[in-house]
Structure 1
Amino acid sequence: MPARTKKAAPPRQHHSKTEARTLKRKRNQEDLSKLNASVDELDPKAFSSKNFADLPLSQATSDGLRDSHFETLTDVQARAIPLALKGSDILGAAKTGSGKTLAFLVPVLEKLFRAQWTELDGLGALIISPTRELAVQIFEVLRKIGRHHTFSAGLVIGGKSLKEEAERLIRMNILVCTPGRMLQHLDQTAGFNGDNLQILVLDEADRIMDMGFQAAVDALVEHLPTSRQTLLFSATQSKRVSDLARLSLKEPEYVSVHEAATSATPSNLQQHYIVTPLPEKLDTLYSFLRANLKSKMIVFFSSGKQVRFAYESFRHLQPGISLLHLHGRQKQLARLEITSRFSSSKHACLFATDVVARGVDFPAVDWVVQLDCPEDADTYIHRVGRTARYERNGRAVLFLDPSEEEGMIKRLEQKKVPIQKLNVREQKKKSIKDQLQNMCWKQHDVKYLAQKAFISYTRSIHLQKDKEVFKFNKLDLEGFAKSLGLAGAPQIKFHKGEDVKRIKNASRAAAAISSGSDSEDEEGTKATKKKSKDEVRTKAQKMLERTNQDVLSKHYRNLVDDGADDGEDQDFFNAKRVLRDDDFDEAAGDGPKAQPKTVSLGSSGQELVIDSKRREKLLKSKKQLLRFKDRGQKLVFDDDGNARPIYELKDEEEFRDEGPAEALRQQFVDAEAGRVRDADVEDKALAREKRKEKRAKRKAREREELGLAPTSGGAAADVQLGGADDYDPEEGLALLRSLPLPGEESGGEDEGDSGPPKKKVKKWFQNDSDVEDTDGAPARKKAKKGGKVIEMAEEPETLEDLEALATGLLDG
């Protein structure tokens, strides 16, 4: 046999895994060194390529861009990304829809990748957005292009549990957030800080840096280190030195790819404006919707209350297009759902405030309608930027009051916004004033929304800073109120010196406190009212105490009787009617006074004064008269049939005459205890009788089944083996009587009987198995072999019979 060759042992598995990990680590370090060298060699000013592949990016970022179908660089991306890769601070300004999101997301991923950032290093990048919708959109893009990286990213926008967010926040490397929520976590979440932050991004920076978020941003920046990279992007960038100093920018690079352009808006956007009086705006909007049913459009309002009223009223009018509404007071889940529905719709109309005016990308929007004039030209540019995105075509129309035309067009020309005037065809316009008035008359909630919409619009116009555009005194407020369906303009109180953005961005709690503050009368003095529990208030007074007290018109306020003596007009048209003696004077003037009519309301002798026609009509309704009658008293009847009240209370003196309270209590307790004992004895005796009767019936039933005669009295004798007072010794032998006796013959039927055989009657000692069948054959089983059976003709009755039975058993 040939000698067996010994095979070499395979190398250990863990050695191969260790070597593979070592080689992979070396390759990663080599790739990282090459990447850093490429970035160092990059010249941002000389870079002129239009492809992402030509940028010095990591393989994970390049794969994410390719898988997300991002291949070509836009102008702002080609200029901003090389500068950001070199570590420079950037002020980026570009038109809406030009790709600013990727211009800062790619540098964020590359910054952390080159720093070899891990979960243990904490927060590395912070991206701040002014609105929740824009933050959600940025986070979705980050997930797409960063899918091949190992970083952890989170979305912090509020609307969810603060505790749940805090549990995951500590492990995040990249956070997309809104200023207020992020500041809350930095202040309250234990173990979370931004001391190691590498890069800070502010999207829509001009909006974040203005008065609405100034306090939150200043407090947030205090938590962040100064040795960070900062990127600011917006369509209308701020260059104020104070803003740049607040963010600690170090020699920022200003990137404005469209600064030399002839227009600040996309060239493929058609922009028009319509001059329509304020009372005709809703009519024009409804006619516009009816003429563009096969379009996808966004209608911007200046406040959320106007959005709610327009949505509810137009939803009842059914213009023929799907309607949606979005504003800042909605819950977060509802806002996300509405955003998703509008994005996926082909033909729809979205009523919205400025929460979606910046950065939010809705696909294929055909029209942007600005029903209310924007507060400045920058807001106009951001609003119209929701259409004509990524070189698509789009159209925008602006509604202007005649008093707003000159000033607003001048502001737009200064911002290089080309806009043309359109004339509305009067024959195409349809009026909806009558329908809105009918709706407000029948539906109180729609009327309430109309009042709120009127007040929010007029207050926003009053608080605008640009008085050359917004001329409050030239607005037809009465006509505007009627166009909303109201009978007249509600009474409004304006607060001077307030900033419009600060009020719009105020929290609900602050708004509730301000609305509930002491009001001032026409002379400027504060009139405070203290409610009393015993005070009787009319319906109009209760209405004014509700939360919608600021929307009630002067007509309702005249219904309230304040109790002040301001003159002869104080008693005019009050809700509480006051009767005076001269109301019943005769027509002659000097004749005797006529007393009002009185009506008796029942046997109690109560009378009702009939002093008006309303009281006369009251007599015809029994249901209404019950309010003036005494309430009935519930009665119970005793054993003798006498009626008495269900609750009888004694007088205090009568109670004291009966004796001390403690003695009465003990007497009552003793009497109740005796009554309970007597009832217990009766219950026990009754239970014993029932048990005896039950046993007697059971014995009688057993005797009937055995074919025996019943005992005297028609019932079988009870058998008790112990524990009873009426125990009979003879009954103790009942067990022995069940034994069979010798000589007993089985009784059968007579031979001479005719007819079918009858079933044999069971003997006293037989069980069910011993009964014969219907054909006469014996059904009893034979006794076991070697056993003895003693048959007896009848049951032993006496003691001698039982002794004889026992003797026979013993002999056997």
Structure 2
Amino acid sequence: MPARTGGRTPQKKQKGPAEPKSLKRKREEEDMQKLQVAVDQFDPKAADTTKFSTLPLSQPTASGLSASHFETLTEVQAQAIPIALKDRDILCAAKTGSGKTLAFLVPVLEKLYRSRITEYDGLSALILAPTRELAVQIFETLRKIGRYHHFSAGLVIGGKNLQDESERLGRMNILVATPGRMLQHLDQTCGLDVNNLLMLVLDEADRIMDMGFQQAVDALVEHLPKTRNTMLFSATQTKKVSDLARLSLREPEYIAIHEAASAATPTTLQQHYIVTPLPEKMSTLYGFIKTNLKSKIVVFLSSGKQVRFAYESLRHLQPGISLLHLYSRQKQVARMEITRRFTAAKYACLFATDIVARGVDFPAVDWVVQMDCPEDVDTYIHRVGRTARYNRAGKAVLFLDPSEEPGMIKRLEHRKVPINKVNVRERKKQDTQQAIQNMVFKQSDLKFLAQKAFIAYTRSIHLQKDKEIFDLKKLDLDAYAASLGLPGAPQIKFQKGDDIKKLKNAPRAAILSDSDSEFDADKKKRKVRTKIDKMFERTNQDVLTDHYAKMIGEGGNADGVDEDEEDDFLAVKRVIQADDLDGEGNATSAPPGAKVIHGLGGDEPFIVDSHRREKMLKSKKQMLKFKGRGERIIFDDEGVAHHPYQIKGEDDFKKEGDAQAQRQKFVEDEATRVKEADISDKQFAKERRREKKEKRKAREAMENDAAVGDMPRLAAPDDGEDPLAFLASLPTGGEKSESEVKESDEPPKKKAKKWFQDESDDETKKAKGKKSKTKVIEVTEQPDTLEDYEALAAGLLED
């Protein structure tokens, strides 16, 4: 997040009349002119450049250097600062720990001071660093030596809130940033103006200009103005014309401090290498840490997953020293906290990737251990540069596999890197394989980290360009997996095809013979089942068993070989013809130890001479391929089988006549057959339409009959009687027919009693019926007097 560097220290107010502003401005103008004259007249060859006090620097810069206890110039500072003060572009290469940070920070402050930059002038200086840790270190140094300037400075790195940074960037004069984050602000922050940029600085320029940042740097430079000063600093500098043209350098001054030196590394650095096989590197590292508990150690590994596993596994072993780990996937807050803790620690061991290999200054580092071989000599130089800084003593040790030793040592000698071979004392070695296996067995998360570390390391070796040093085929990957506590080497995607092809093509007998010859010296030990083998035999134990089975193959042990292969083979439901086999079940034409199976449908008997051929018996798809394609046959009227399409011989074809005549006859016959078929098809279609029509009519007739049958019908007389007379004779609504009259004369039939009714129920109903009858009061005359109405009311009130 952007932050202000600070201002001048507050001074006590002196009594007396205040100085007029005009006189103050005049004095400042005179001081600025004197400073510019001193810079123009300064000759670094003739003048004494051993002290900062002898340089033509402004008063705020000189005070900041003095307050930060910087008094004596290093060699790179003595050559770079005077040239940079004269506004020249610089291309500087110097050893690690030689003081390159001050060599470009002092010119940046002086350039902005002499240009009279204020916080309202926008961005004037941009400093790029490849890693966040290095950018934070540069920013902290800038705050120390620039404490008396009025410039505002900001730190722009990933892992922080982009919006908070955007709100403050418009007021910043100096920015220390990583390339990716700075490009993001140039593309998205609308208030950021870089048209007034005066200086561009690239620290660790060779790293920034390589393929990792090439696109970001190219896009970033397009936003910057061409008229600016550019300075490039690194321990291993590039001179490629294409890189210089991309950055628009104008006749840069090349400064090579240690180009003529006898060694590319500091003379106070003691460098050693140990030849240790890859499976023994963890044990060697643990023994080394236990021997140097009163030291500050940085251990470099090639990937973040290896860093995590090494840290977690050794942390459980408790070597007796504080352990820390640092890699790029960590949160920014955690990275800064770990960097602070290791910087402040007196004795500690830091496991890290190459994110701290360049420029980061950890004070008082005693040992730099490179557990994995660096990709090139430049990476080696930057790694060992974390110790022996500023003419202090330091030690470095490199672990090399026997296959890596010849190529790497030859390249180090070619670059003038003095390194000596040392041997590990036998009494100092401590085998950690058994302890790590027990931890991996108990903790599934540690097992997961071990698998990821194995895959990350093998991929890094596979992707290396220098195959003279990095050859994956020369490494014992099975033993390396065992050293990480794994029961077997996980399958790797870029090797999976080769492994499967090798297993398929290898016969069963050859696999057994190779394994027996390879482990003949330790055959008894190989057959002993470990705790891990016993655990993974319990297939219903947990979710890891399926993963383990897929990882080592379908066999029952880590070698991929079934211990009970004979039983598995006999369980296959196939018939073996005993007549074609000898007493042991082998055929004379088959390889030794192979099985021959007849009657499976193929042209030849099926020979089982490998595990792959044995598995084919259980695959329906594979057995169909073995049997081959079947032939289609048809039977004629006489029951004779033949192919549906038979091709005549050439002689029989010529006997039937000329080919053209046969063709013409065939065309005519086919045309006649098509016409006949067309007529029959039309007739069939016509019949179908007729049948559909008849069915539709029948269905409609049935529907009409059903509708009419529901209505009452009048039967007309058959003797020719007049219809009107017949209608007149019909009974009307108020009359009854004779049959109805007879039926009415008969009393209604008594309803039969139910099984639950008796006579008492009938009497009860009759009594209720009598009571429920309504009483009728007859009134002969209209009531006239009061007495008449009382009599009528009394009658109504009675029962």
TM-score bracket, shorter-length normalisation? 0.5 to 0.7
**How far did residue 521 of structure 1 move?**
12
**How far did residue 553 of structure 1 move?**
7.3
Q: Where does 1:651-800 land on structure 2 (aligned, <5 Å)?
A: none
Partner of 2:335: 335
3-state SS of 1:494 partner: helix
Change (3 A) 1:478 1:68: same
**How far did residue 16 of structure 1 move?**
6.7
Partner of 1:200: 200
Partner of 1:649: none
Partner of 1:157: 157
3-state SS of 2:272 partner: strand
Partner of 1:422: 422
Cα distance in 2 between the residues matched to 1:425 and 1:521? 38
Does the 8 Å contact 2:489/2:552 carry over to 1? Answer: no
Does the 8 Å contact 2:488/2:552 carry over to 1? Answer: no
Cα distance in 2 between the residues matched to 1:459 and 1:203? 30
Cα distance in 1 between the residues matched to 2:67 and 2:488? 60
Determine if the alignment matches structure 1 residue 102 to structure 2 residue 102.
Answer: yes
Deviation string 1:248-275 (CA, Å, 9 cap, x unpaired) is 1110100011111101111111100000
Q: Where does 1:616-631 land on structure 2 (aligned, <5 Å)?
A: none
Change (3 A) 1:223 1:447: same
Cα distance in 2 between the residues matched to 1:84 and 1:349? 39
Stretches of 4+ aligned residues off by more than 3 angstroms: 44-48, 519-523, 538-545, 552-559, 579-582
Cα distance in 2 between the residues matched to 1:222 and 1:553? 55
Determine if the alignment matches structure 1 residue 321 to structure 2 residue 317.
Answer: no
Match of 1:555 among 538, 544, 551: 551
**How far did residue 473 of structure 1 move?**
1.0
3-state SS of 1:287 partner: helix
User: In structure 2, what residue type is equivalent to 1:392?
Assistant: R
Partner of 1:263: 263
Identity rate, percent: 71
3-state SS of 1:242 partner: helix
Cα distance in 2 between the residues matched to 1:469 and 1:423? 21
User: In structure 1, what residue type is equivalent to 2:341?
Assistant: R
User: In structure 2, what residue type is equivalent to 1:23?
Assistant: L
User: In structure 2, what residue type is equivalent to 1:86?
Assistant: K
Q: Where does 1:37-52 land on structure 2 (aligned, <5 Å)?
A: 37-52=37-52
User: In structure 1, what residue type is equivalent to 2:38?
Assistant: S
Cα distance in 1 between the residues matched to 2:47 and 2:316? 57
**How far did residue 158 of structure 1 move?**
1.3
Partner of 2:524: none
**How far did residue 399 of structure 1 move?**
0.3
Does the 8 Å contact 2:195/2:224 carry over to 1? Answer: yes
Using structure 2 for the length normalisation, give the TM-score. 0.61
Determine if the alignment matches structure 1 residue 485 to structure 2 residue 485.
Answer: yes
Partner of 1:281: 281
User: In structure 1, what residue type is equivalent to 2:267?
Assistant: S
Partner of 1:20: 20
Change (3 A) 1:226 1:541: farther
Determine if the alignment matches structure 1 residue 385 to structure 2 residue 381.
Answer: no
Cα distance in 2 between the residues matched to 1:79 and 1:377? 26
Please, which moves more after superposition, 48-57 or 363-372?
48-57
Partner of 1:433: 433
Does the 8 Å contact 1:491/1:553 carry over to 2? Answer: no
Using structure 1 for the length normalisation, give the TM-score. 0.60
Partner of 2:141: 141
Does the 8 Å contact 1:540/1:556 carry over to 2? Answer: no
Deviation string 1:16-46 (CA, Å, 9 cap, x unpaired) is 75x5222111111101011111111123444
Q: Where does 1:18-97 land on structure 2 (aligned, <5 Å)?
A: 20-97=20-97
Cα distance in 2 between the residues matched to 1:207 and 1:540? 50
Cα distance in 2 between the residues matched to 1:412 and 1:63? 43
3-state SS of 1:175 partner: strand
3-state SS of 1:73 partner: coil
Partner of 1:457: 457
- How many residue pairs get matched? 511
**How far did residue 494 of structure 1 move?**
2.6
Partner of 1:780: none
Cα distance in 2 between the residues matched to 1:305 and 1:251? 44
Does the 8 Å contact 1:326/1:352 carry over to 2? Answer: yes
3-state SS of 1:176 partner: strand
Change (3 A) 1:437 1:69: same
Deviation string 1:404-437 (CA, Å, 9 cap, x unpaired) is 0011111111111100000111232110101111
Cα distance in 2 between the residues matched to 1:372 and 1:218? 32
Deviation string 1:304-330 (CA, Å, 9 cap, x unpaired) is 000000000001000111101001110
Cα distance in 2 between the residues matched to 1:217 and 1:253? 21
User: In structure 2, what residue type is equivalent to 1:370?
Assistant: Q
Q: Where does 1:133-532 land on structure 2 (aligned, <5 Å)?
A: 133-494=133-494
3-state SS of 2:399 partner: strand
Cα distance in 1 between the residues matched to 2:413 and 2:126? 36
Deviation string 1:320-353 (CA, Å, 9 cap, x unpaired) is 1110100111001101111111111111100111
**How far did residue 495 of structure 1 move?**
9.4
**How far did residue 468 of structure 1 move?**
1.2
Q: Which has the larger radius of gyration?
A: 2
3-state SS of 2:359 partner: coil
Does the 8 Å contact 1:193/1:223 carry over to 2? Answer: no
Does the 8 Å contact 2:95/2:265 carry over to 1? Answer: yes
In the alignment, structure 2 segments of 5+ residues that lack a partner are 1-15, 502-538, 556-561, 566-570, 575-799
Cα distance in 1 between the residues matched to 2:200 and 2:246? 13
Cα distance in 1 between the residues matched to 2:545 and 2:53? 67
3-state SS of 2:84 partner: helix
3-state SS of 1:403 partner: coil
3-state SS of 2:101 partner: helix
Change (3 A) 1:543 1:436: closer
Change (3 A) 1:194 1:487: same
In the alignment, structure 1 segments of 5+ residues that lack a partner are 1-14, 497-518, 524-537, 560-568, 573-578, 583-812
Deviation string 1:96-142 (CA, Å, 9 cap, x unpaired) is 11100000000000010010001111000000000111111100100
User: In structure 1, what residue type is equivalent to 2:166?
Assistant: A
Cα distance in 2 between the residues matched to 1:438 and 1:368? 29
**How far did residue 467 of structure 1 move?**
1.1
**How far did residue 520 of structure 1 move?**
13
Cα distance in 2 between the residues matched to 1:332 and 1:543? 33
Deviation string 1:539-561 (CA, Å, 9 cap, x unpaired) is 9999899xxx9xx77437759xx
Change (3 A) 1:280 1:27: same
Cα distance in 1 between the residues matched to 2:551 and 2:57? 70
User: In structure 2, what residue type is equivalent to 1:467?
Assistant: K
Deviation string 1:750-777 (CA, Å, 9 cap, x unpaired) is xxxxxxxxxxxxxxxxxxxxxxxxxxxx
**How far did residue 47 of structure 1 move?**
4.2
**How far did residue 366 of structure 1 move?**
0.6
Cα distance in 1 between the residues matched to 2:247 and 2:381? 25
Cα distance in 1 between the residues matched to 2:237 and 2:374? 18
Cα distance in 2 between the residues matched to 1:332 and 1:275? 36
Cα distance in 2 between the residues matched to 1:54 and 1:85? 13
User: In structure 2, what residue type is equivalent to 1:335?
Assistant: R
3-state SS of 1:171 partner: coil
Does the 8 Å contact 1:48/1:78 carry over to 2? Answer: no
3-state SS of 1:402 partner: coil
Deviation string 1:262-310 (CA, Å, 9 cap, x unpaired) is 0111111110000000000000000111111111110000000000000
